[in-house]
Structure 1
Amino acid sequence: MAEQPVDRKSTFKKLGARHKARRRAVDLLFEAEARDVDVADLLAERVELAGHDQSVAPVHAYTHTLVEGVADDLDRVDGTIESYLQDWALSRLPAVDRAILRIAVWELFHATDVPPVVAVDEAVELAKELSTDDSPSFVNGVLGQVVLVAPQVRAAAAATRAPRPDPRS
């Protein structure tokens, strides 16, 4: 019996808008690091370019959220990643893996509308698309540890944002 040809289109899952936004955020973080420029400035440059050049895709709102969020919370995000690297330094990782991990950790800590399993799965998928053969399992391992502390980080952030009672009342 002859083997049936594989329909490659059906084997790939459809990429949603948020996946594309994450990928663009990875690209921007990677490029900013490679060029040694501020990622917020690079983002603003791309938004302006998309406004003037129809051949440049507009920057998705979620890409803005991710890039600005990572930039604003970079020290904590990097510190968290480093604490789970076990005998590795963040600077030794491939730059694309750093960008993927930064986005996923930021999402785990701040994106309350993104279930943790989705943040991890998306990061692993990006590592499959953009990095080395070993990267998906490495990214999954690091994020598997971060997932355990993410609820406490989210709860602490929510507590600091909660309105406090007026002491005069």
Structure 2
Amino acid sequence: MIRHKLRIQLVTYLYQHLLLEKSIAAIIVDEGLEPTTEDQVYLLNNLYNILENKAEYVQFITEHLNPDWKYERLLAIDRAILLCAISEYAIDEAARAIVINEAVEIAKVYSSEDSYAFINGILDCL
């Protein structure tokens, strides 16, 4: 599967976790994710990395928000996109420009009208 589709899947799984408060373990079981293919290894590695480093990633996002905003106030989809992008950048050492561009493109399709610019601004600080 191409990376773009995998990134969308990853955002979808994390969105379920954030919005529905569904455990990552339940998502993994429901989706039948097992480390049997390269695609599934990519998804699992990122999901586990986000769980393990979520506090650090949230702190990074919070530090780059307008002082009047709180992380919890962000749309769940925007939080999912940001966390996925930061995770991919951290563990895959993917090119910064690619990570930012992919996150922006996903936001244009799945989030509110202006979210892509906000996401671009936060990720530009990576």
* Letter paired with 1:35: L
What is the TM-score when the length of structure 2 is the normalising length? 0.87
Which of 99, 104, 123 is 1:119 aligned to? 99
The match for 1:75 is: 55
Whole-angstrom CA distance in 1 between matches of 2:46 and 2:87:
8
Which of 75, 83, 91 is 1:94 aligned to? 75
The match for 2:36 is: none
Whole-angstrom CA distance in 2 between matches of 1:139 and 1:107:
15
The match for 2:16 is: 31
Query: Cα RMSD between the aligned structures?
Result: 1.6
The number of residue pairs the alignment matches comes to 120
Whole-angstrom CA distance in 2 between matches of 1:78 and 1:86:
14
Whole-angstrom CA distance in 2 between matches of 1:98 and 1:71:
13
Q: Please give the per-residue CA displacement for 1:28-86, whole angstroms capped at 9, x wherever unaligned.
A: 111122221212331233116xxxxxxxxxx7332222212111111111111111012
Cα contact 2:18–2:80 (8 A) shared by 1:
no
Please say if 1:133 is aligned against 2:113: yes
> Which structure has the greater CA radius of gyration?
1
- Gaps of at least 5 residues in structure 1 are 1-15, 49-58, 148-169
Matched position secondary structure for 2:119: helix
The structure showing larger relative contact order (alpha-carbon pairs under 8 Å, at least 6 residues apart) is: 2
Q: Which has the higher helix share?
A: 2
